[in-house]
Amino acid sequence: MHRIPRRIDSSLIVAALLIAAVVTGAVSILRLDTTGRSGSGLSEEFAYNLQKLAAVDPDLILYAESGLRVSTGFRQSRAIALDSSGRMYVAGDRAIGVFGAAGNPEKLVELSGEPRSLTVSDDGKIYVGVGDHVEVLSAEGQQVASWNPLGDEAVLTSIAKHKDDVFVADAGHRIVLHYDAAGTLVGHIGAKNPDKNVPGFVIPSPHFDLAVSRDGLLRVVNPGRNRIETYTRDGDLEFAWGERSVDIKGFCGCCNPVSLAIGPDGGFVTAEKGLDRVKVYNSDGGFVGVVAGPAQLGKEGQLKVCNTPEECQGGGLDVAVGMDGRVYVLDVTDNVIRVFAKKEAGR
């Protein structure tokens, strides 16, 4: 049998090749991502993923947010304090906002400069760190004293009062100042002193908090060492607690915890930035549980985008504890106070 040789039309081949080229081109153009929407294509080792670390075991969360959420009205909130009747005092912008226990705005006290820290004494006086000095205001908001300026480098990030002692954390000079209630400087606490076994404060950014427990011992966060140091009023270092770890029990990053408060039972409440977490420790520094993790604080998966260097370095949370044990969390970027109460047993 003869095969009839078939002549293939060369124009058909050219047409087929052309179609194939057009299809291939179209497919590759469609597959080529010039918009970046399909991601970078980098392998997993190039990804910085905190998602896993941000997850908090629900069994460890001992608190729930109460219905009370207070907007501070500030562009930049800085610090929160409570008085014995549960009134909230927030330092921000160039003022102090006072809110009733139910969150109702009561008063706005204008200041001469930007406040960074404040505390309210049992007699209702307000001690506030403004710029390079401390101002004392009456309960009505009238200035009653302005203490000596501490120099251009002073950054007063925390104040606590106990009986006749006032302790002021100065992040700029990396030192705690000890005053009497009249504003006379009594001494300095925490300067590096190998003879007294005092390591010195390491403060990478303006986060440097302190509190005084009922026994009069001063508790100071050493943020660069991720621990809380305990000093006598004479400046002797007694002991320290705090574990450096991303684990829920520890503190991670270079400046944590950024905030510290002491509860009515003598336990501690801490707040961290980076992995935004508010946690509870007992009076010996033992981990008790979580008040709120990134998910509860609405910070989960947030990529930090900041507009100014100060914003990039700032952020974070400030905490205070009420006489009833409720935890007040000031979100300094969202300018809101959130209140967390201990969950009832069995819930």
Partner 1 sequence: MANDKENLTRRKFLREGLWGACLAGTGTAAGLSIARNNRDNTVWQIDPYKCIACGNCATFCVLENSAVKCVQAYAICGYCDLCTGYLVPEPKALDTGAENELCPTGAIKRTYVEDPYYEYTIDESLCNGCGKCVNGCAAFGNGSLFLQVRHDRCKNCNECAIAAACPSQAFKRVPADQPYLLKKVDAKE
Contact between 293 and 280 (Cβ < 8 Å): no
**CA–CA gap between residue 53 and residue 128 (Å, rounded):** 36
**CA–CA gap between residue 22 and residue 28 (Å, rounded):** 10
Scanning residues 76 to 115, which ones bind partner 1 (CB under 8 A)? 112-114
40 touches partner 1 by CB under 8 A: yes
Stretch that binds partner 1, among 20-28, 101-109, 307-315, 321-329 (CB under 8 A): 307-315
Would you say 87 or 225 has its CB closer to partner 1? Answer: 225
8 touches partner 1 by CB under 8 A: no
Would you say 24 or 245 has its CB closer to partner 1? Answer: 245
Stretch that binds partner 1, among 85-93, 98-106, 230-238, 303-311 (CB under 8 A): 303-311
Contact between 125 and 144 (Cβ < 8 Å): yes
What single DSSP character describes residue 35?
Answer: S
**CA–CA gap between residue 145 and residue 182 (Å, rounded):** 8
Please select the residue that binds partner 1; options are 71, 230, 313, 333, rule is CB under 8 A.
Answer: 313
Scanning residues 172 to 191, which ones bind partner 1 (CB under 8 A)? 172
Total binding residues toward partner 1, as defined by CB under 8 A? 54
Please select the residue that binds partner 1; options are 16, 25, 27, 33, rule is CB under 8 A.
Answer: 33
39 touches partner 1 by CB under 8 A: yes
Structure-token match 């950014």, residue found: 205
Stretch that binds partner 1, among 38-46, 59-67, 160-168, 233-241 (CB under 8 A): 38-46
Would you say 96 or 154 has its CB closer to partner 1? Answer: 154
Spatial CA neighbour of 155 closest among 127, 129, 120, 181: 129
Would you say 33 or 238 has its CB closer to partner 1? Answer: 33
- Provide the CA 248 distance to its chain's centre, in angstroms: 15
Spatial CA neighbour of 65 closest among 279, 327, 268, 344: 327
How does strand 227-231 pair with strand 218-222? Answer: antiparallel
Query: 85 Cβ partners below 8 Å, 6+ apart?
Result: 101
Would you say 286 or 301 has its CB closer to partner 1? Answer: 301
DSSP string, 209-236: -EEE-TTS-EEEEEGGGTEEEEE-TT--
Please select the residue that binds partner 1; options are 101, 181, 246, 295, rule is CB under 8 A.
Answer: 246
Contact between 72 and 90 (Cβ < 8 Å): yes
Please select the residue that binds partner 1; options are 1, 29, 30, 305, rule is CB under 8 A.
Answer: 305
- Residues in a beta bridge with 159: 168
Stretch that binds partner 1, among 14-22, 23-31, 137-145, 153-161 (CB under 8 A): 153-161
226 touches partner 1 by CB under 8 A: yes
131 touches partner 1 by CB under 8 A: yes
Would you say 162 or 273 has its CB closer to partner 1? Answer: 273
- Beta sheet of 268-272, edge-to-edge order: 259-262, 268-272, 277-281, 287-292
Please select the residue that binds partner 1; options are 129, 274, 293, 294, rule is CB under 8 A.
Answer: 274
143 touches partner 1 by CB under 8 A: no
221-235 burial code (b ≥16 CB/10 A, e <16): bbbbbbbbbbbebeb
Please select the residue that binds partner 1; options are 306, 323, 324, 343, rule is CB under 8 A.
Answer: 306
Half-sphere exposure at residue 74, Cβ-oriented, CA atoms within 13 angstroms: 31
Would you say 11 or 38 has its CB closer to partner 1? Answer: 38
196 touches partner 1 by CB under 8 A: no
H/E segment holding residue 26? helix 10-31
**CA–CA gap between residue 299 and residue 198 (Å, rounded):** 36
205 touches partner 1 by CB under 8 A: yes
- Chain contacts with partner 1 (rule: CB under 8 A): 33-37, 39-42, 45-48, 50, 53, 112-114, 131-132, 152-155, 171-172, 202, 204-206, 224-226, 244-246, 252-256, 273-275, 303-310, 312-313
